[in-house]
Amino acid sequence: MDFDVVVIGAGLVGASFALALQTAGLRIAVIDTLVPSTSVARDDWDSRIYAISPGSEEFLQACGAWQLLDTARLCAVEDMHVIGDDEISALNFGAYAAGMRELAVTVESRELQSALWQALMEAQHVKVIAPAACHELVLEAAAVQLSLADGRSLRARLIVGADGADSWVRTQAGLKVDTRPYAQTAVVANFATAQAHRGVATQWFQRKGVLALLPLPGERASMVWSTATAHAQELLALSPNELAMRVVTASHGKLGDLRVITPAAAFPLRMQRVQRLVMPRLALVGDAAHNVHPLAGQGVNLGFRDARELARVLTARGAQNDCGDFALLRRYERARKEDIATMQLTTDTLQRLFDTDNAPLAKLRNFGLRLVNRQSALKNLLVRQAVG
Ligand SMILES: Cc1cc2nc3c(=O)[nH]c(=O)nc-3n(C[C@H](O)[C@H](O)[C@H](O)COP(=O)(O)OP(=O)(O)OC[C@H]3O[C@@H](n4cnc5c(N)ncnc54)[C@H](O)[C@@H]3O)c2cc1C
């Protein structure tokens, strides 16, 4: 049980990171508490849908996972409409105007996770240890010692925490995290729609939160309604028909009548800033390293960019043999700092701007939407940043 890299967490980010190390010449182990699942039910839809950016899609292709997806369950997002709470102000982004094929592709979480598990199981350079629970982590100068609850122990030069927002690795290492709950909960559900979405994702910024309807294959849409927790609880208590009617009203009937096809589920929302992404022999990626509001649909894309960058730094380490070397890991941290800080600032500012009853601010935010909408160069810049 001697490895170069041990990755804790085989979620979307941890699994893709391990796969991306295929040419790094390293011995890798991936540990998860869950039982690996390489097959998914296809008679219903997962309530958790991600909008995957073209940059993330390219990365997942290189990892050997994207090509394992069933294309009939993917849907291209060609346009995005953001509507202000005065119902007049709008900001529209189009793939065509930005010279792209699509802005994003929607995919079910479980579909992508199972493709990643499948690729991991077939990868020659990775040993999967799952299900397994971690017991103790000891960081030494020359190595990391990890013991599992079943008595097994592992030794590695580098440990990577990809174990989500409540990261065990981060806690064991004593890395500081600044957590701010948003007092909001995201309610997600899928609907059959009476009218075609035409590849358009729409977001309504409202005083009660942000409602997003993302396109799914056929006449279906996925909802993420980030709203005050009391309102979320009210929505969750409704019957499927009542919920559908509420969403029709809140979305101004844009997709016509709706019918719930996947029951509503809830995710409490919080902002998390982690001061350091690395320390000697340890690095964090994905939600273990940052947690952002889902209003920009960028959380997992941000995590894929961490995975891509850390894998790139380790693969290009050259004469540096020790993959847990602090100077090497600092290169990763420096490269990721700006992207993470920009996404945290953007999502947090937008959330605050729309989570207020202050009348001048309400005017300003709607004016801001209209202003940005008229600046095609700025819009293209925003699109380029979101699709990376
Ligand atoms: C409502 C909602 C909608 C969202 N929509 C989008 C979107 O459209 N686009 C987007 O980019 N992002 C979106 N996000 C964000 C996205 O869900 C997360 O950023 C993403 O899931 C993080 O992936 P991860 O692999 O870092 O962590 P996780 O998905 O949390 O995976 C962590 C893995 O680690 C394992 N694990 C945990 N602890 C241990 C341990 N101690 N030992 C071993 N294994 C462990 C877990 O079993 C799991 O497999 C959304 C988030 C929410 C709440």
Residue 134 beta carbon below 6 angstroms from any ligand 1 atom: yes
**90 C-alpha to center of ligand 1: Å?**
30
Exposure string of 235-260, with b = 16+ CB inside 10 Å and e = fewer, is beeeebeebbebbbebbeebbeebeb
Domains of the chain: 5-38+55-68+109-179+271-351 (3.50.50.60), 71-108+182-270+354-387 (3.30.9.10)
pLDDT tens for each residue of 331-361: 999 999 999 999 999 888 888 887 777 777 7
Residue 9 beta carbon below 6 angstroms from any ligand 1 atom: yes
Residue 186 beta carbon below 6 angstroms from any ligand 1 atom: yes
Q: Is 321 exposed, middle or buried (0-12, 13-18, 19+ CB in 10 A)?
A: exposed
Residue 193 beta carbon below 6 angstroms from any ligand 1 atom: no
Going from the C-alpha of 329 to that of each of 11, 93, 138, 160, the distances in angstroms are 21, 36, 18, 11
Going from the C-alpha of 61 to that of each of 57, 95, 383, the distances in angstroms are 6, 21, 21
| Cβ–Cβ < 8 Å for 10, 30 | yes
Residue 14 beta carbon below 6 angstroms from any ligand 1 atom: yes
Backbone angle region of 114, left / alpha / beta, with phi > 0 → left and psi within -120 to 50 → alpha: alpha
pLDDT tens for each residue of 354-381: 777 777 777 878 888 787 778 877 777 7
**The predicted structure's pLDDT at residue 69:** 97
pLDDT > 90? residue 87: no
Task: Please report the atom of ligand 1 found closest to the CA of residue 13.
Answer: 25
| Distance of alpha carbon 34 from alpha carbon 5, whole angstroms | 20
Amino acid 97 reads A
Backbone angles phi, psi at 5, to 5 degrees: -125, 130
Helices 109-122 and 12-20: crossing angle in degrees, nearest 10, is 30
Q: What SS3 class is residue 162?
A: coil
Which one of 108, 185, 287 would you pick to mutate in the ligand 1 pocket, going by the greatest count of ligand atoms within 8 A of its CB?
287
**319 C-alpha to center of ligand 1: Å?**
34
The side-by-side arrangement of strands in the sheet containing 28-31 is 126-129, 28-31, 5-8, 158-161, 282-284, 278-279
pLDDT tens for each residue of 120-176: 999 999 999 999 999 999 999 999 999 999 999 999 999 999 999 999 999 999 999
pLDDT tens for each residue of 267-292: 999 999 999 999 999 999 999 999 99
The side-by-side arrangement of strands in the sheet containing 144-148 is 134-139, 144-148, 153-156
Residue 31 beta carbon below 6 angstroms from any ligand 1 atom: yes
| Cβ–Cβ < 8 Å for 14, 8 | yes
